Amino acid sequence: MSVNKLALIRYKTIDHFLRQRHRKWTLEDLMVKIADALYEYEGITSGVSKRTVQGDIQFMRSNKLAYNAPIVVIDRKYYTYADPNYSINNSPMTDADLGKMKDAVDFLKYMNGFTHFEEMSDLIVRLESNLSKSEGNKKVAIQLESNKLLKGLEWITAIHKAIRDEIPLLISYKSFKSKAETQQVYFPYLLKEYRNRWFLICKPKKGTVLITLALDRILEIEEMAKSGFVPYEGIDFERYFEDTIGVTKTSRDRGQRVILEIDAYNAPYVETKPIHPSQQILTKGEDGSIILRIDVVLNFELEREILGFGENIKVISPPRLKNRIANRLKSAFNRYVDVNIDN
């Protein structure tokens, strides 16, 4: 059973004042407090009727929202809770609540790529951290990575709805390379997060290939007629990025065998935190170095990952990637020609 916003404000107001046992509350008292709350939160000046408040109390007493509130009347006039520790905020979750929570978890699994139950431990920690904050726990037990300056998060809900309901989107977009914004109709298929940035994998209505839009470059979104949606056939989007580091990929790209050598100092780090789920250790050197294999698409994010290891990694194959990394390192070195390397 759904509850509208005004009803919820009334229930919470009644609950709040019935928990205050320093005074007795008549029906008229509760009507005044509810009217004040409605004005404060919604700007409603018409107040609330006695019949509405009586109905609210009966509703809270019922099991319709699993409140089962122990509201009693003393001296046929004053309302209070028979249990001084009761609050609707402490009520057990209903089946509907559990269903909504499951939907939320499914949404998070879909958004973050969770595939096994064991991997939900990270999510549980995050939820517990937020609950701790909401309960006023001042002790900080965990600090999560976040970027308060990140843009584009406001589009996630609208895009997720469009993907699930198969609704075309008219998107105004301005890439970093473009001087002016563009406006096109896109068919949205997948939301993808990578290093705190969000991306939409979609197809332009007038195009034939998949493209990737960064949410932080989206200026405006408008839903179009649902009847115009065109599904993308032949791709399992749940597995689309299995062979990819990052988000740069076309429907034609396939993972390639990449062989890397990691020095002894970084080998334990890479063994415990693989560069990619496909990682296999091929050999271990006597000095502690390792040679490993990953099967991934050759893209910008892979290059950036490799370059992040600096001098501690070497590309053995494929030659194309090896030459690309070597040339980028040479270009980087040339930016420091005026530096005395010996120092």
**Residue 177: what pLDDT?**
83
- Tens digit of pLDDT at every position of the chain (343 positions): 445 888 889 999 999 999 888 888 999 999 999 999 998 888 888 889 999 999 999 999 988 877 889 999 999 999 999 998 898 887 665 555 545 555 565 555 444 443 444 445 555 556 545 544 544 555 555 555 666 667 888 888 889 889 989 999 999 999 888 888 999 999 999 999 888 889 999 999 998 889 999 999 999 999 999 898 999 988 888 889 999 999 999 888 999 999 999 999 999 999 999 999 999 999 999 999 999 999 999 999 999 999 999 999 999 999 999 999 999 999 999 998 887 766 5
Class of the domain covering 5-90: mainly alpha
Report CA 234 to chain centroid distance, whole Å. Answer: 27
User: Start-end ranges of CATH 3.30.70 in the chain?
Assistant: 256-334
On the CB side of 257, CA atoms within 13 Å amount to: 9
Distance CA 48, CA 31 (A): 6
Give the whole-angstrom CA distance, residue 213 versus residue 182.
12
Cα–Cα distance measured from residue 302 to residue 213, given in angstroms and rounded to the nearest whole number:
19
CATH 1.10.10 residue window(s) in the chain: 5-90
CATH for 256-334 is 3.30.70
Question: Would you state the CATH architecture of domain 153-228?
Answer: Roll (2.30)
Residue 158: the pLDDT is 87
Delimiting residues of CATH 2.30.30 domain(s) in the chain: 153-228
What are the backbone angles phi and psi of residue 313, rounded to the nearest 5°? Answer: -135, 150
Token pair for 198:
């969000």
Angle between helices 5-18 and 27-42 (to 10 degrees): 130
For residue 158, count other CB atoms closer than 10 A to its CB: 16
148: amino acid identity, one letter: K
Determine the pLDDT at residue 214.
Answer: 93
